[in-house]
Amino acid sequence: MIKRVKRELVYRGSILDIYDDSIQLPDGKIEHWDYVEHRKGAAAVVAVLEDGRLLLVRQYRNALNRFTLEIPAGARDSVTEPTSECAARELEEETGYRCDNLEFLISLKTTVAFCNELVDVYVARNLIPSKQKLDEGEEIELEAHTLEDLCEKIYKGEIQDGKTVAAIMAYKNKYHL
């Protein structure tokens, strides 16, 4: 039986904590595994324009040192904030659109090998123009793509963000089969 025998905080960040876990293996040997705790969870949105194209954001991602194409998403303000409220807020902040009726699509654990991050994904239709409200230092370009174009970008490796890939494929499976 594998069991965790100790968890030691190594780093506390603004949205995540990093731990060194001592894990006892079935043979009794102790190994050290990294664990990243995403404290608040997050939400994301598949934003569907009136013509059926999906609205995505292109933004810089430091971990990759490049810009990526993703669905709008962000962390909850607190662990008690409903993910639907977070999704609605992120939709408006990042895209400048709002939606009065989000539909739950899928719940994801993004990187189960070392992190507990949970992202609930919603679908937003009947978008209502509003105003983009970017965070300080945030630079986002909006792009609208057909579902077919996005699937092609996924298979070509042009879209690699896990939540975006899973959300687009779930949306396609649920609404376009």
Assigned token pair, 68: 């990526």
- Distance separating alpha carbons of residues 126 and 82, to the nearest angstrom: 21
DSSP 55-113: EEEEEEETTTTEEEEE--EEE-SSTTS-HHHHHHHHHHHHHSEE-S-EEEEEEEES-TT
What is the C-alpha separation between 149 and 147, in angstroms, rounded? Answer: 5
Is 31 annotated in the active site?
no
DSSP code of residue 115: B
Choose, from 70, 81, 103, 136, the residue flagged as catalytic: 136
Q: Are 114 and 35 in contact (CB under 8 A)?
A: yes
**Cα end-to-end distance, the chain, whole Å:** 42
Q: Which two tokens stand for residue 163?
A: 């939540």
Residues labelled as active-site residues = 136
